[in-house]
Copies of this chain bind each other. A is one copy, B any other.
Amino acid sequence: MGLFHADSHAMSKTLKEMDVLRQHLAKHQLKLTRQRELILTAFLRQEHVTAETMYHQLAKKDPHLGLATIYRTLNLFCEAGIAQARHFGTQTQYDNISHKGHHDHLICTGCGTIVEFENCEIERLQEEVATKNGFVIQTHRLELYGLCARCRH
């Protein structure tokens, strides 16, 4: 009984997304597989991943899990509204949408230093712009490039 509680508590974080996935699968006549569950729980633990990083992470739990399956599953998550693909550099980042505390970046073009920041007011204005254009924002990216105090001398 105590064990049951502990288990259900540990699972509670993933339950919401698991339900979203189940609903999506049902609606599209798809099936819930061991791999999809495995990938989902691992995915939810992180803010953003690439297929490659998940491939290596999961190799320990299931050495036969194929890279193609991970790509397929992450794309499935996007369709289900659990993940969001973002192209960064040459790779695709899959962002955990439900993860909060998104931060923006201040990047020094001199020394490469990256300072993270968060500004509610800016976020609010972004929503405003999106709404005005008929968009519903899923995620965003704001990078300010400039020179930090030290590099200006």
Interface set of A (CB-CB < 8 Å, partner B): 84-90, 106, 108-109, 115, 117, 119, 121-122, 125-126, 129-130, 133-149, 152
Contact = CB atoms under 8 A, between A and B. Distances in A.
A135 B149 contact: yes
B147 A136 contact: yes
B147 A138 contact: yes
Contacts of A85: 109
Nearest to A117: B129
Given A87-B90, A141-B142, A134 B122 contact: no
19 contacts: A84-B109, A86-B145, A87-B87, A87-B90, A106-B130, A117-B129, A121-B125, A122-B125, A122-B129, A126-B144, A133-B148, A135-B146, A137-B145, A137-B146, A140-B142, A140-B143, A140-B145, A141-B143, A142-B142
Nearest 7 Cβ contacts at the A-B interface: A134-B149, A87-B87, A137-B146, A135-B146, A140-B144, A138-B146, A141-B143
